[in-house]
Amino acid sequence: MENKRCVVLGVTGGIAVYKALDVISALRKKDVDVRVIMTKSATEFVTPLTFQSMSQNIVTTDMFAEPKAWEIQHISLAKRADVFLVAPATANIIGKVANGIADDMLSTTIMATRAKVIFAPAMNTNMYTNPIVQENIAKLKKLGYEFIEPASGRLACGDEGKGKLAPASDIVEKVLSEFYDKKDLIGKKVLVTAGPTRANIDPVRFISNRSTGKMGYAIAEEARDRGAEVVLVSGPTNEPAPYGINVIKINTNEEMRSEVLKHFETSDIVVKSAAVADYKAKEYSENKIKKGNGDLEIILTRDNDILKELGEKKSGQILVGFAAESQNVVENAKGKLIKKNLDYIVANDITSKDSGFASNDNRVTIVTREGQELSLDKMSKREVARNLFDIIGGKR
């Protein structure tokens, strides 16, 4: 148990207390040791026994209770934490920490820890927007404490607005990101494109491709976990929006081009993994094209070559392209790298039956501008992303 990553979870009194159980469950499935501190108010909503059963650890509630082991408990837990998470975090605990008040086990332990402290607020929307609460949050952020923004919606009290505890999946993503072993992109801005684009024919029909966006989303998550500020420009996909990433949804080639150009100049690394439509209908029909007796002929014309345009515009950015090929995979990728002035290109064989489109795995060859080739056997798309950033950072 001692070798596991440890999260100390502070649970404060609010109707969202029960949602912290989902956070514990998800963290335990990732082999994280969870130690729970509950405030007295929190125990009025859910019993400590419930949290003890879920975490498989003794729950701490009283600063003056007889210790289970010979140790000063708030110091012991403060030192044990790799990440200190407070979820749900009430206005009360935020105010205490912001003003140096340590009058119970949770606030005392937060004061004593050197671990990253993350608050996930949950409260009535009027409380959350109260200038005093916002001033306390701003003060803590300035001191290095982090916050997971609450969600908006109908609150337990019946009000509508911001104040719901963020989804457990977002909270867990944030915590696991803190544990990530590589933080070489802190201070960097990474722009990623993902998924397909659509070339509209009429109001109900379009041309697209089989891209699901899985590779691009994996790249964006890898960059985020390494510490980068990430913008993800995504075509239509069923992939859930990753926590902590600025996801911009688009449909067409032109929309993608517009969004990419907005962020290109301020980006350090640009990874164009989207499957952008090369052609579009020469004439778009404002009305649905009716079925006739004969064949339907649609004339296609070339659409924007976004990657080539970026290659012409780049002024210090690292530019990475993808090449989905069905023959002469590496040779065609090398030609694309030179033609479009790329620094790296990732080539994958789309004829592979067990990887690529719609799969969680990929089998690729990464080619550098200097002509070096790294062939990666079948692995998860997240592992491909990890290898890609290792190569960009000169770690392979």
**8 Å CB contact between 235 and 251:** yes
Query: In this structure, are residues 284 and 202 in contact, taking their beta carbons and an 8 Å threshold?
Result: yes
Considering only the C-alpha atoms of the chain, give the largest distance between any 2 of them, rounded to a whole number of Å: 87
Beta carbons of 220 and 232 less than 8 angstroms apart: yes
3-state secondary structure of 185: coil
State the DSSP H helix or E strand holding residue 136, giving kind and residue range, or none if neither: helix 131-142
Q: Which helix (H) or strand (E) holds 53?
A: helix 48-55
The residues, ordered by sequence, that sit 6+ positions from 394 with a Cβ below 8 Å of its Cβ are none
Instruction: Classify residue 190 by burial, with Cβ atoms within 10 Å: 0-12, 13-18, 19+.
Output: buried
Tell which residue, 262, 253, 220, 254, has the closest CA to residue 385.
220
Helix (H, G, I), strand (E, B) or coil at 269: strand
164 has which bridge partners? 151
E strand or H helix at 64, and its extent? none
* Cα separations in angstroms, 245 against 225, 231, 288: 10, 6, 37
Sole residue written with tokens 């696991």: 176
Contact between residue 367 and residue 338 where contact means Cβ atoms under 8 Å apart: no
Measured in whole angstroms, how far is the alpha carbon of residue 181 from the centre of its chain?
A: 16
Residues that constitute the known binding site for CTP: 278, 288, 322, 336, 340
Active site amino acids: 157
Written as six digits, the tokens of 37 are: 């501190």
Which residues belong to the annotated binding site?
A: 278, 288, 322, 336, 340
Residue with tokens 């030192």: 79
Dihedral angle, C-alpha 50, 51, 56, 61, nearest 10 °: -120
